[in-house]
Amino acid sequence: MHSSEEQERIVSELSLSRSPETLYFLWSQTGDEDAQREFLQMEGSPKLETAEMQYALATFYTNRNQEKTLQLLNHALELSGRSNINTEIFKSLASTYYKENQRELAYIWAKVAESFEIQIVSDKELQLLYGFNKEKFQKLDAIADDVEEMVRAGKYMQSSLPTKFD
């Protein structure tokens, strides 16, 4: 009971802050709709132009707008430095591209995740799931290696990804 009062006091103190990080916390952890609205109104402003805030914004769009989600996740990676890589982005990109039937990009991000020791599915499951021929798997693996290098170097750019795979 005492910890509940302490939690209420902390939330009350946090509610005085208008920082995007605090607003996101209040919205995502306590369901504060006013904080959500205020956070979303910051979209497009320099206040949200960090890897962490772009990822936070992407969590809002995940079930609402897949294209916007992909744009925000990619931008979050573009803003990431070598030391602050959020590996959850790889899983989100892989699953969102898969839902959008962009199987090649989904596979690439699953392989990038794997290179960061985030196992989405086993290699055998990847082969069954995607069913590409050996040549295509090799081509996509090479692209995934290049993407991994860019991410690790803090130089990832979405524009460096191919848009056609035929």
Given a cut of 70, whether residue 9 has pLDDT beyond it is no
Tokens representing 47? Answer: 């206040």
pLDDT at 147: 97
- The chain-wide mean pLDDT, for the chain, equals 91
Given a cut of 70, whether residue 50 has pLDDT beyond it is yes
Average pLDDT over residues 28-45: 94
- The owner of tokens 């993407």 is 147
Average pLDDT over residues 138-152: 97
pLDDT at 13: 67
- The owner of tokens 């990619």 is 74
